[in-house]
Protein backbone atom coordinates (compact mmCIF):
# COMPACT_ATOMS: atom_id res chain seq x y z
CA UNK A 1 0.00 0.00 0.00
CA UNK A 2 2.76 2.42 0.96
CA UNK A 3 4.64 1.66 -2.27
CA UNK A 4 1.57 2.34 -4.43
CA UNK A 5 0.94 5.61 -2.62
CA UNK A 6 4.57 6.63 -3.16
CA UNK A 7 4.32 5.86 -6.91
CA UNK A 8 1.11 7.90 -7.16
CA UNK A 9 2.82 10.84 -5.45
CA UNK A 10 5.76 10.56 -7.85
CA UNK A 11 3.45 10.50 -10.89
CA UNK A 12 1.44 13.47 -9.56
CA UNK A 13 4.65 15.43 -8.97
CA UNK A 14 5.83 14.64 -12.51
CA UNK A 15 2.55 15.80 -14.02
CA UNK A 16 2.65 19.02 -11.98
CA UNK A 17 6.24 19.72 -13.10
CA UNK A 18 5.30 19.13 -16.73
CA UNK A 19 2.31 21.48 -16.46
CA UNK A 20 4.41 24.17 -14.78
CA UNK A 21 7.15 23.90 -17.42
CA UNK A 22 4.64 23.79 -20.30
CA UNK A 23 4.32 27.55 -21.04
CA UNK A 24 8.04 28.00 -21.68
CA UNK A 25 8.27 24.75 -23.61
CA UNK A 26 5.28 25.81 -25.69
CA UNK A 27 7.27 28.68 -27.17
CA UNK A 28 9.60 26.29 -28.92
CA UNK A 29 7.74 23.02 -29.16
CA UNK A 30 4.07 24.01 -29.43
CA UNK A 31 1.30 24.20 -26.86
CA UNK A 32 -0.14 21.37 -24.79
CA UNK A 33 -3.19 23.25 -23.59
CA UNK A 34 -3.74 25.66 -26.48
CA UNK A 35 -1.40 24.53 -29.23
CA UNK A 36 -2.02 23.87 -32.86
CA UNK A 37 -2.33 27.47 -34.02
CA UNK A 38 -2.72 27.96 -37.70
CA UNK A 39 0.10 29.56 -39.67
CA UNK A 40 -2.21 32.46 -40.49
CA UNK A 41 -2.11 33.60 -36.89
CA UNK A 42 -0.77 37.12 -36.53
CA UNK A 43 0.07 36.86 -32.85
CA UNK A 44 3.65 37.81 -32.02
CA UNK A 45 3.65 36.55 -28.43
CA UNK A 46 4.66 32.94 -29.20
CA UNK A 47 6.96 31.15 -31.57
CA UNK A 48 5.24 30.02 -34.76
CA UNK A 49 3.90 26.50 -34.61
CA UNK A 50 1.90 26.80 -37.82
CA UNK A 51 3.24 23.62 -39.44
CA UNK A 52 2.58 21.38 -36.46
CA UNK A 53 -0.49 19.28 -35.98
CA UNK A 54 -2.16 18.73 -32.62
CA UNK A 55 -0.40 15.44 -31.76
CA UNK A 56 3.05 16.85 -32.60
CA UNK A 57 2.21 19.85 -30.47
CA UNK A 58 1.34 17.69 -27.44
CA UNK A 59 4.41 15.49 -27.89
CA UNK A 60 6.59 18.57 -28.30
CA UNK A 61 5.22 20.11 -25.13
CA UNK A 62 5.92 17.00 -23.12
CA UNK A 63 9.43 16.67 -24.57
CA UNK A 64 10.08 20.38 -24.05
CA UNK A 65 9.03 20.17 -20.42
CA UNK A 66 11.21 17.11 -19.88
CA UNK A 67 14.15 18.80 -21.59
CA UNK A 68 13.89 21.83 -19.32
CA UNK A 69 13.74 19.64 -16.23
CA UNK A 70 17.08 18.02 -17.09
CA UNK A 71 18.73 21.30 -18.07
CA UNK A 72 18.50 21.22 -21.88
CA UNK A 73 17.91 24.79 -23.08
CA UNK A 74 14.69 25.70 -24.82
CA UNK A 75 14.56 28.95 -26.73
CA UNK A 76 12.11 31.53 -25.49
CA UNK A 77 12.06 35.11 -26.75
CA UNK A 78 13.69 37.29 -24.10
CA UNK A 79 11.77 40.40 -23.14
CA UNK A 80 15.14 42.15 -22.89
CA UNK A 81 15.41 42.20 -26.69
CA UNK A 82 11.70 42.42 -27.58
CA UNK A 83 12.06 45.98 -28.86
CA UNK A 84 14.77 44.95 -31.36
CA UNK A 85 14.23 41.28 -32.34
CA UNK A 86 11.27 39.81 -34.17
CA UNK A 87 9.77 36.81 -32.39
CA UNK A 88 10.34 34.54 -35.41
CA UNK A 89 14.08 35.16 -35.07
CA UNK A 90 14.24 35.07 -31.27
CA UNK A 91 12.48 31.70 -31.14
CA UNK A 92 15.38 30.05 -32.93
CA UNK A 93 18.10 31.50 -30.68
CA UNK A 94 19.25 30.99 -27.12
CA UNK A 95 19.54 34.06 -24.92
CA UNK A 96 23.23 34.71 -25.71
CA UNK A 97 22.48 34.45 -29.44
CA UNK A 98 19.48 36.77 -29.03
CA UNK A 99 21.81 39.31 -27.42
CA UNK A 100 24.29 39.05 -30.31
CA UNK A 101 21.48 39.41 -32.87
CA UNK A 102 20.06 42.41 -31.02
CA UNK A 103 23.51 44.03 -30.83
CA UNK A 104 23.94 43.49 -34.59
CA UNK A 105 20.61 45.19 -35.26
CA UNK A 106 21.55 48.15 -33.07
CA UNK A 107 24.92 48.40 -34.82
CA UNK A 108 23.38 48.22 -38.31
CA UNK A 109 20.78 50.89 -37.50
CA UNK A 110 23.14 53.21 -35.64
CA UNK A 111 24.16 55.17 -38.77
CA UNK A 112 20.74 54.88 -40.42
CA UNK A 113 22.45 54.33 -43.77
CA UNK A 114 20.77 52.01 -46.28
CA UNK A 115 23.07 49.05 -46.91
CA UNK A 116 24.60 49.11 -43.44
CA UNK A 117 25.12 45.51 -42.26
CA UNK A 118 26.29 43.93 -39.01
CA UNK A 119 26.99 40.20 -38.64
CA UNK A 120 27.24 37.91 -35.63
CA UNK A 121 28.12 34.29 -34.87
CA UNK A 122 27.12 32.07 -31.96
CA UNK A 123 29.73 31.09 -29.42
CA UNK A 124 27.44 28.45 -27.91
CA UNK A 125 26.25 26.52 -30.99
CA UNK A 126 28.25 25.79 -34.13
CA UNK A 127 26.43 26.54 -37.37
CA UNK A 128 24.39 29.41 -35.92
CA UNK A 129 25.02 32.89 -37.29
CA UNK A 130 23.18 35.88 -38.65
CA UNK A 131 23.13 39.45 -39.83
CA UNK A 132 21.02 42.60 -39.84
CA UNK A 133 20.92 44.85 -42.91
CA UNK A 134 19.23 48.22 -43.35
CA UNK A 135 17.29 47.90 -46.61
CA UNK A 136 15.30 51.13 -46.74
CA UNK A 137 14.19 54.36 -45.08
CA UNK A 138 10.69 55.70 -44.55
CA UNK A 139 9.18 58.67 -42.75
CA UNK A 140 6.10 58.35 -40.58
CA UNK A 141 4.15 61.22 -39.06
CA UNK A 142 6.43 61.78 -36.08
CA UNK A 143 9.09 59.11 -36.54
CA UNK A 144 12.02 58.28 -38.76
CA UNK A 145 11.89 54.60 -39.76
CA UNK A 146 14.22 52.02 -41.26
CA UNK A 147 13.39 48.81 -43.04
CA UNK A 148 15.73 46.12 -41.69
CA UNK A 149 16.13 42.51 -42.77
CA UNK A 150 17.44 40.01 -40.25
CA UNK A 151 18.91 36.77 -41.52
CA UNK A 152 19.52 33.83 -39.19
CA UNK A 153 21.12 30.56 -40.21
CA UNK A 154 20.70 27.61 -37.87
CA UNK A 155 22.31 24.35 -39.00
CA UNK A 156 22.14 25.38 -42.66
CA UNK A 157 18.50 26.52 -42.54
CA UNK A 158 18.10 30.21 -43.39
CA UNK A 159 15.34 32.45 -42.06
CA UNK A 160 14.87 36.00 -43.41
CA UNK A 161 12.72 38.33 -41.36
CA UNK A 162 11.99 41.88 -42.54
CA UNK A 163 10.99 44.40 -39.90
CA UNK A 164 10.34 48.11 -39.54
CA UNK A 165 12.22 49.99 -36.84
CA UNK A 166 11.46 53.59 -35.91
CA UNK A 167 12.79 56.30 -33.65
CA UNK A 168 10.91 59.29 -32.42
CA UNK A 169 12.97 62.34 -31.44
CA UNK A 170 14.59 62.90 -29.00
CA UNK A 171 15.36 59.14 -28.94
CA UNK A 172 18.56 58.16 -30.74
CA UNK A 173 17.76 54.44 -30.82
CA UNK A 174 15.54 52.58 -33.27
CA UNK A 175 12.95 50.11 -31.92
CA UNK A 176 10.49 47.73 -33.58
CA UNK A 177 7.48 49.58 -34.92
CA UNK A 178 4.14 48.53 -33.52
DSSP labels, the chain = -HHHHHHHHHHHHHHHHHHHHHHHHHHHH--TTT----TT----SS---TT--HHHHHHHHHHHHHHHHTT-------GGGTTTS-HHHHTTS-HHHHHHHHHHHHHHHHS--TT-EEEEE-SSSTTEEEEEEEEEEEEETTEEEEEEEEEEEETTEEEEEEEEEEE-TT--S-EE--
Give the pLDDT confidence score for residue 39 in this predicted structure. 35
Per-residue pLDDT tens, the chain, 178 aa: give them.
Answer: 667 777 777 666 666 556 555 554 444 444 444 443 333 333 444 565 444 444 444 555 555 555 545 544 445 555 667 778 888 888 899 989 999 999 999 999 998 899 999 999 999 999 999 999 999 999 888 899 999 999 999 989 999 999 999 998 888 888 888 7
pTM listed for this prediction: 0.59
Amino acid sequence: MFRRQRINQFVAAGVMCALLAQPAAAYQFGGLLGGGRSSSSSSDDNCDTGNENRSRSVIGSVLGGAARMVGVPTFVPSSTFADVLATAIACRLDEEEQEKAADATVEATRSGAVGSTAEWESETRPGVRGSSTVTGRTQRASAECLEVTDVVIVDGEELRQPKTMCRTPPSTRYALAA
